[in-house]
Structure 1
Amino acid sequence: MTVRVTLISAAAGAAAREARFGDGPPDEAALRRAAEAAGGLPAASRVFGAPSARCRATCAALGLTPGAGPAPHDLDPGRWRGRSLAEVGAEEPEAVARWLTDPAAAPHGGESVLGLVARVGGWLDSLAEEGGRVLAVVEPAVVRAAVVHGLGLPAEVFWRLDVRPLTGTELSGRVGRWNLRCGAPL
């Protein structure tokens, strides 16, 4: 069955701008931009929201009430949670380099990129069983993972996909056959 999934990247906050591992609320300016975009969202038969504070606040600002269940959560950064990429890179440069170049690596003790792609891919494929239109507010890493899975890209391209806050990335199709429309502003 055909499904159209619009993945909305959460509004940005200080944690995202600082490249900090973990959750943090979006700033007020970002939430105002989300509220301004709310009227332009397509109608959907199912709405999902990831569990992070950033995604919950973005859903609220967009006027969305997730009711279909949780969307996939962000990549688990393990023991790096709460720290910035710059801090970790200064203390563990080889671990960060390995993590950014080897999709199977998880030197932080959390989730690898391959693990994230598999988890998000399973969720994406499950949406095709019911079809229809889906909206999901998620973290940028989840958008990247969905694109990698949907297009059958090598996981090494994960870090080369730039996902801006408050943009929609649309995957339409069915299991094994996805089409991509990326980066539409809300």
Structure 2
Amino acid sequence: MPNSRVTLISPALSPALREARFDDGSGELDAAGVRRARSAAAGLPGADRAAASPSTRCRRTAEALGLSAPEAPALAALDVGRWRGRSLAEVTAAEPDAVASWLADPALAPHGGETVRGLCDRAGAWLEDTARAPGRVIAVVEPDVVRALLVRALGLPEPAFWRLDVRPLTAVDLSGRAGRWNLQVGTPLGDAP
């Protein structure tokens, strides 16, 4: 099996990220986010392939970084069902027991959407498929997708998903091959905060 390198880049700042809001996929970047992504473009490593989560903020970040990154449905953000578009604070105030259950059990989806386990499985399958070809892939993906990929790549228990923080416009590098990945974390891009 060939060695691969996958660079995961989280999107630049957007109002939804700033407000800890469950994005509905249509959230644009703010002006500062676009500027930072453009300034980070020169520091990106070369890549053989690129991909992006289908959300607007990931596609716009990829564009600002100068990447031709087709949408990868397998890299879509966690579907949070009826919570989409609401902030975590709003949902917690309205449904505290549902949020507590969701955070405690990766197999639950009280919002009617996808489970954390489902996201980890979907993203992990993309990673293993990507590893079949040698070379570097740059993927601009939602923070929850970065967390899901790390859970699967490193064989972490699924509750670790909630213990991984992903800052805006940062890179995480995975290198290796299917079934055996090494991790380099938190490489800043440009002057991201």
Q: TM-score, normalised by structure 1?
A: 0.97
> Which residue of structure 2 aligns with residue 36 of structure 1?
39
Local SS of the residue matching 2:78? coil
Q: What is the 5 A alignment of 1:141-152?
A: 141-152=144-155
> Which residue of structure 1 aligns with residue 8 of structure 2?
7
Local SS of the residue matching 2:75? coil
Q: What is the 5 A alignment of 1:67-106?
A: 67=70, 69=72, 72-106=75-109
- More deviation, 141-150/65-74: 65-74
Q: Which amino acid aligns with 1:41?
A: L
Q: What is the 5 A alignment of 1:120-135?
A: 120-135=123-138
Aligned partner (choices 114, 139, 142) of residue 142 of structure 2: 139
Unaligned runs of 5+ in 2: none
Report if the CA contact (8 A) 2:143-2:166 is conserved.
Answer: yes
Report if the CA contact (8 A) 1:103-1:155 is conserved.
Answer: yes
**Alpha carbons of 1:89 and 1:54: their partners in 2 closer, same or farther (altered >3 Å)?**
same
Partner Cα separation in structure 2 for residue 106 and residue 117 of structure 1: 14
Deviation for aligned residue 1:141: 0.3
Deviation for aligned residue 1:68: 8.1
Deviation for aligned residue 1:67: 4.3
Runs of 4+ displaced beyond 2 Å:
67-71
Report if the CA contact (8 A) 2:12-2:33 is conserved.
Answer: yes
Deviation for aligned residue 1:185: 0.5
Q: Which amino acid aligns with 2:128?
A: D
Report if the CA contact (8 A) 2:13-2:30 is conserved.
Answer: yes
Unaligned runs of 5+ in 1: none
Deviation for aligned residue 1:102: 0.8
Q: Which amino acid aligns with 1:133?
A: R
When the two structures are aligned, how many residues end up with a matched partner?
Answer: 186
Local SS of the residue matching 1:134? strand
Q: What is the 5 A alignment of 1:19-34?
A: 19-22=20-23, 23=25, 24-34=27-37
> Which residue of structure 2 aligns with residue 17 of structure 1?
18
> Which residue of structure 1 aligns with residue 60 of structure 2?
57
Report if the CA contact (8 A) 1:72-1:142 is conserved.
Answer: yes
Report if the CA contact (8 A) 2:54-2:71 is conserved.
Answer: no
| Per-residue deviation, residues 64-111 of structure 1 (Å, max 9, x unmatched) | 111485561100011111111111111100000111111111000101
The percent identity for this pair of structures is 62
